[in-house]
């Protein structure tokens, strides 16, 4: 609550004006600091979200590339094992059997 004080201004006595107390000024300053901190945290949160989106895309691409490479490796192993006339190797058979 503002305090009522009287003071002189240009030779005229003025009284009954509400002048904020030190506590009220401190409260306003604190509120401004809180708002600034809130804005900073929202900015950081937006940056973190963008970074997470980027990393998700990167991990997804790595997964896609990994699956593609694994498919190529399986094809190469199948080709090499059957190409030598051994009737297929145990690695390929266990992969195809689901073991």
Domain membership of residue 85 as a residue range: 3-97
**6 pLDDT higher than 90:** no
User: Which region holds residue 54: left if phi is over 0, alpha if psi is between -120 and 50, else beta?
Assistant: alpha
- Per-residue pLDDT tens over the stretch 34-81: 999 999 999 999 999 999 999 999 999 988 888 888 777 776 655 555
Most confidently modeled range among 1-5, 23-27, 68-72: 23-27
Q: Give the count of domains, the chain.
A: 1
| Residue 4, strand partner residues | 18
C-alpha to C-alpha distance for 1 and 21, rounded to whole angstroms? 8
| Residue 7 parent element (H or E) | strand 3-9
R_g (Cα) of the chain, nearest Å? 37
Q: What is the pLDDT of residue 63?
A: 86
């Amino acid at each position: 609550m503002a305090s009522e004080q009287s003071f002189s201004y240009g030779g005229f006595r003025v009284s009954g004006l509400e002048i904020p107390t030190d506590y009220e000024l401190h409260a306003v300053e604190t509120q401004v600091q809180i708002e600034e901190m809130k804005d900073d945290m929202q900015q950081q949160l937006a940056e973190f979200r963008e970074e997470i989106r980027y990393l998700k895309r990167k991990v997804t691409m790595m997964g896609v590339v990994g699956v593609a490479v694994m498919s190529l490796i399986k094809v190469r192993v199948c080709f090499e094992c059957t190409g030598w006339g051994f009737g297929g190797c145990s690695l390929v058979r266990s992969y195809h059997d689901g073991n």
